[in-house]
Each structure stands twice: as structure tokens, then as C-alpha cells.
Structure 1
Amino acid sequence: MEADVRVVNSLVERCFAVVELLANEASAMRLGEIAEKLDLQKSAAHRMLNVLCEIGWVEQEPVTGFYKLTLRLAILGQRFLSATHLTDVCQPVLEELAAESAELVRMAVVQGETLTWIAQVQGARNGLKYQPEMVAKVRLAITANGKAYLSTLSPTDAIRIAINDGVAPGKERSIGSVEEFMEELKSTHNRGWAISDEEAEPGVVAIAAPITLMDGQTVGTVSVAGPRSRLTPERHEKVASAALSTAAKLAELWPLRQRYDLKVQ
């Protein structure tokens, strides 16, 4: 009986691993690449993909034979997000920051040990408009949002999570050594906000603050991002101050979504 449970758990874990990989890549992938990235035999990966295709989570492109997610995951994610009423409560505050900064404002929430984008407001009224690729997962070690979140954790956890996220300090030019990365997180923690200056994307600067509740729990991050030509060093402190103020407002509003649920019920 215990052996049967272990087999079922293993199959479920593998199926979710396939879904997560395809969600992170956000593009069609060949069977061999999926098997390699998940450290699976091609036959095992093929079985997983066949099951996921049968139940409507994955589809295979007829011409290339590559695999990609269907829209089912995105639809369920939107349904869940709508049910939490989180964006309903937070959207007006994000719009205020977007209007004040005249740049793109985004909010991410903590999911396990990573961040997921859930809302954005474009505040740029003219000229260049930063419009990033719509991917759910936040790259922690090289984005302002990721560093703002990591700065609220212990050094050991921050490094472990950064490595598990797939971008390890010392492995990419923009990050430098582990020591340099930890020093940056320490500085980020002390001032309360993080910055990514062309680390995640060329020509783009982002400033982010963690959303931390009264009990010390960090539940998300909020950021302002735009072209480096506009988000110059002279603006950093002012934008950071606005982001910190917005993060504090969001922290106060966070529990309201639960009251909203009770009121609706």
C-alpha cells in the first residue's frame, strides 16, 4: 500500500514539474529538452506529456511536434486571482503610484519561495513605454522585485533560494560573487528598497519595495520600472520613496481582501 502511494506521489510530482517547466518557458519545447531539464528518461517524459495532453493541460504542435501548455492553467489562475479579490483592493493604490511616477508599476506576490506577477499599471504618458514580456515568474537574483524580497530573508535562505531559482551569484556577470550579492542584499535591507540597473533587461531600471505585514511577513513586492534615460540616478530616491509609501499602503490593505470575501458571502 505504501509503495503504491509513493508511486502515485512520484507521478503527480512529475506531472506538476512538466507543467511548471512549460509555464516558466512560456513557449513550445521539444521532448528531448523537457526530458533533459527535468532529468527524466525520454520515455517517462513522453508518458507524462501524453497524460497531460489527454486531460487538456498540454497540447502538441502538429507541425513541429513540440509541446506547450494550453490556456487552461492561465484561465484557472485568473479565476483564482479574481476569487481572492486581491487586485480589486490593491489596484487603486497601484494606479496612484503609476500616475505619480509616470512609469510602469507592477506588483508581485510571494508564492512558496518565489514571486509571481499579478498586476501592472502603465503610467508612462508619452515617449518610450517599458512593456515587459508577460511571464508569471519573477527572476529573483537580477530583478528589483526579487532582490527586495530576498533582502527580507536570512542570508542563508536568500542564497539558497537564489540558487534554486536558477540564477546563482557568481554565475552571471551582473550578479558578481556571493559576497557581493549578499552585501547588496544587506544594503537593500538597510535602506528598504532594491534597484536593478540594466541587470534584468538592457536599458531598463527598476526600483522595488517589499510589502511586509505587521507581523513581519513579506507577502509581495511593488516596483516602478522604466527606461534608464528617464529613471536617472537623480530620480532614484524620489521614486524609491514613492514605492516605499505604496508598499506600506498595500500592507495595510492586504487583510481587507479577507473582509471583502466575508462581506460578499
Structure 2
Amino acid sequence: MRLVKSLVERCFDLISLLSENAGAMALGEISRRLDVPKSAAHRLLTTLCELGWAEQDPDSGFYRLSLRLAVIGQRLLVSTRIPDICQPILDRLANATEGLGRMAIVDPDGLTWIAHSQGARSGLIYQPDIVARVPLHMTANGKAWLATLDRDEALARAVASGLGRTDMGGPRVITTKQTFSAALDETQERGWAAAIEEAEAGVAAIAVAIRVGEQVVGTVSVAGPIHRFSPLVAPQVADQVKAASQELSSLWPYRIASPHKQTPPRLASST
């Protein structure tokens, strides 16, 4: 039983690794990153290729996931009705604030972007790089979620995300645990998180956690040029983000499981 579990864990570790490196990876790099022998990594890759979940580049010999997983993931996301429910709310938030509205969901590894809406139509428009994983230590979304966790876990996740590195983020990125912990305290006290030039120069953002009962399922935010987030304006924007969060919470399609009632599996876990 333990052997089967170990193989399944290794398989999903491999899929997760390849999902973050869509440009394909060499067998040696995969072996090193997963800390498994090349022979074991090769067997897993061969099986995934035979099943159609991965493919090997005929020229380089590198491996990558096929689009099969992406198609199934898209089907699951659509079946949850999350895009249908969330997009109109994000659109209203983005239009009202003339910023970039974004939403992320909690998964076991952190936060993942799943939806966005651009409200600015003229002037300076913030258009970030397209990435799936939310950098926890330098974004308002990351702070909004981490502030809901046990502090030790929150700091550990922030460090894993890059807290302490000087080669990441904007000019005001936080680099120490003490300062980051203070930022989480501030986020808890006021009920919303802010990141001012922490991810990128000239960019600010405000985020709020989305809760279903006691469970945090995601975050919603607005980002844009820093001049739109002055100390006088920021609380007003925060109120709009809070309202969007509350609306998303009330309409969230997945409810907390009850021992007496069968419900769909939870979308995410904060652990």
C-alpha cells in the first residue's frame, strides 16, 4: 500500500513540476528537481507519455506535459461554474476602480490566478506578465491569504515563495521575516492587504480574502499604477474590493462539506 502511495505521490510531483515548466525539461533536470534516480524518473515519464499525459520532444529529447491535462482542468473549472459566477463581479470591480481586477484560488501549494478583468480604458494601464502561481511574499493577494494562516506556516510559505531574496520584486519588496510579519499584522487589523511597489516598480495593489464560512477559498484584488492608490484613495478602493469579496463568498458554488449531506468536493484547502 505504501509503495502504491509513493508511486502516486511521485507521479503527481512530476506532473506539478512539468506544469510549471511548459517549455519542456531535460531528464537530468527532472531527476534533480524531484530528487529521484534518473531511471525512476524515466519510467514515470515513459508511462505518462504512453498514456498521453506527457510527450517527448523528438529533437531535444526533453519532456513536457501534453495539452490533455489542460483540457481536463478547463473542463473541471467550467463545471464548477466559477468563471460564470466570478467574471461579472470582477468586471464590475475593475470598471469601478479603473484597475486590473484579479482572482486567485487556494490550492495545496499556495495561490493560483484563475480570472482577471481590465477596467482601465485609457491612460496608464497595468498589464502584468502572465503567470499561474501567485508570488506570496510580494503581492497583496499573498498577504491577504497568509494573514489568515498560522503565523509560522505563513512565514514558512513566504520564505518558500522567495522572502529574503534580493533578486525578486520591486523597489519596496519586503525581505525580512520581522517586517513581513508586521505587514501580516496590519493586514489582519484592517481586513485588507496592500502591496505598494513590492511586486513591480510603479504598481500598487489591494486584496481581500474570499471566505466560505471559516474556510478561505481564494483572494480578490485590484492593481494599477501607484498614483491611483494614494493614502486617501486606498481605503475607498479597499471597501470596493471587500464588497466584491463578500459577493463572491455568497455566490461561491462549493460549500463546506457536511457529515450529514453529500456535497461536491471542496475546490481548495488552505492547508
TM-score, scaled to structure 2? 0.84
Structure 2 match to 1:177: 176
1:87 pairs, out of 62, 83, 98, with: 83
Residue deviations 1:75-108 (CA, integer Å, cap 9, x gap): 1111001111122122211111011111211111
Question: Alignment partner of 1:25: what SS?
Answer: coil
Distance 1:153 1:97 in 2: 26
**Contact 2:192–2:208 (8 Å) recurs in 1:** yes
Cα 1:51/1:131, change in 2 over 3 Å? farther
Q: Distance in 2 between matches of 1:205 and 1:141?
A: 14
Tell me what 1:78 maps to.
74
Is it true that 1:205 corresponds to 2:204 in the alignment?
A: yes
Shift in Å, 1:155 = 0.8
SS of equivalent to 2:52: coil
- Pair 1:227 & 2:225 matched: yes
Mapped contact 1:26–1:135 kept (Cα < 8 A): no
Q: Is 1:247 the equivalent of 2:245? A: yes
Equivalent position of 1:131 in the other structure: 127
Give the equivalent residue in structure 2 for 1:36.
Answer: 32
Q: Is the 8 A contact 2:80 2:253 kept in 1?
A: no
Cα distance in 2 between the residues matched to 1:233 and 1:49: 52
Alignment of 1:1-265 (within 5 A): 5-112=1-108, 114-163=110-159, 166-172=160-166, 174-213=173-212, 215-228=213-226, 230-255=228-253
Query: 1:130: how far off?
Result: 2.7
| Greater per-residue helix proportion | 1
1:233 is displaced (CA, Å) by: 4.9
- Residue in structure 1 matched with residue 170 of structure 2 by the alignment: none
Counterpart secondary structure, 1:245: helix
Go from structure 1 to structure 2 and tell me whether the alpha carbon gap of 1:158 and 1:125 turns closer, same or farther (over 3 Å shift).
same
Q: Give the distance between the partners of 1:85 and 1:217, measured in 2 at CA.
A: 19
The one-letter code of the counterpart of 2:194 is I
Report the Cα offset of residue 25 of structure 1. 3.0
| CA displacement at 1:131 relative to structure 2 | 2.8
Q: 1:29 to 1:231 in 2, by over 3 A?
A: farther
How far the C-alpha of 1:18 sits from its partner, in A, is 0.9
Amino acid at match of 1:178: K
Normalising to structure 1: TM-score of the pair?
0.86
Change (3 A) 1:78 1:240: same
Code of the aligned partner of 1:121: S
Identical counterparts, % of pairs: 50
Conserved? CA contact 2:141–2:207, under 8 Å: yes
Cα pair distance change 1:198/1:32, threshold 3 Å: farther
SS state at 1:141 partner: helix
1:86, 1:257 within 8 Å by CA — same for their partners in 2?
A: no
- Amino acid paired to 1:48: L
SS at match of 2:35: coil
Greater shift, 105-114 or 178-187, is seen at 105-114
Worse-matched range after superposition: 241-250 or 222-231:
222-231
Q: How many residues align?
A: 253
